[in-house]
Amino acid sequence: MDKMFQDKVVMITGAASGFGAMAAERFATQGAKLGLSDINGGQLVAVAEALRAKGVEVVTDVVNVADETQVAAHVTNITETFGGLDIGINNAGIGHDVRPLQFLTTDDFDLMMNVNAKGVFLCMKHQIPLMQKAGAGAILNVASAAGLVGSGHLSLYSAAKHAVVGLTKAAADENATRGIRVNALCPSFSATPMVDEMADMVGDRAGLSREDAMTHIASRVPMRRVSRPEEVVQAMLWINAPENSFMTGQAIAIDGGLTAV
């Protein structure tokens, strides 16, 4: 029996750690060929080598998603290697210091928008023409629960992730009759390196250990815990599954109830 993504070509940005690295592993187990990128070349190589050791076909590039030349070259490398592109997982993103808006800088603003919003725009800009030509494709943009509600002390991150949701809905509308589905995934706090860094910032200011700071962060979630990365990544597979063919333009929250209250 064929696997869910047998011989499908899947592009994943931010693939060196966190959701991206786990997504690469899970799509690979379902038969996908992978185009992986990250700005962290060392960790990216380690992820790719582990996958190749299991017989997975992988192409990698060190990419800053805010740089259109690098994004375009990566997409070209994937398509020249595998002959096309079926799924784009636009996952690369960064956070900022946890503090009120007035203490953030214009440099913070530019960085959040360049990586978290423009990075998604550039990836879609180069993914969509290939999918239009093929008459099929699926794109999943990793936004955040902070892109669905106001998120105090994370204002610029929240603004950029709101932009991701807006880009997702517009691209879905533009391509709904072209065989291309475009959705967004909106996780809340998860046990990833980004949230570990957030916990360290919170802990340093409040004099808490990382464990206690994580407990404080989790207290904002109705389920009173952060998610396990696999709880988020399983949704990536479901959203992009061929059988899930009538979903487009949606921002799916995997958030322990955070955006429900």
Please give the full DSSP string across 196-223, using - where no structure is assigned: HHHHHHHHHHHT--HHHHHHHHHTTSTT
pLDDT at 91: 98
Answer yes or no: are the C-beta atoms of 93 and 14 closer than 8 Å. Answer: yes
Task: Give the residue ranges of the chain where pLDDT is below 70.
Answer: 1
> Residue 1: what pLDDT?
62
- Name the segment(s) of the chain with CATH classification 3.40.50.720: 9-188+229-254
Residues designated as active site: 157
According to the model, what pLDDT value does residue 179 have?
Answer: 98
User: Cα-flanking dihedrals φ and ψ of residue 211, to 5°?
Assistant: -60, -45
> Which of 228, 143, 149, 238 lies closest to 185 in space, CA to CA?
143
pLDDT, residue 128, reads 98
Q: What is the pLDDT of residue 213?
A: 79
Sheet holding 9-12, edge to edge: 58-62, 33-38, 9-12, 87-90, 137-142, 180-187, 251-254
Domain 9-188+229-254 has CATH 2.40.50.140: no
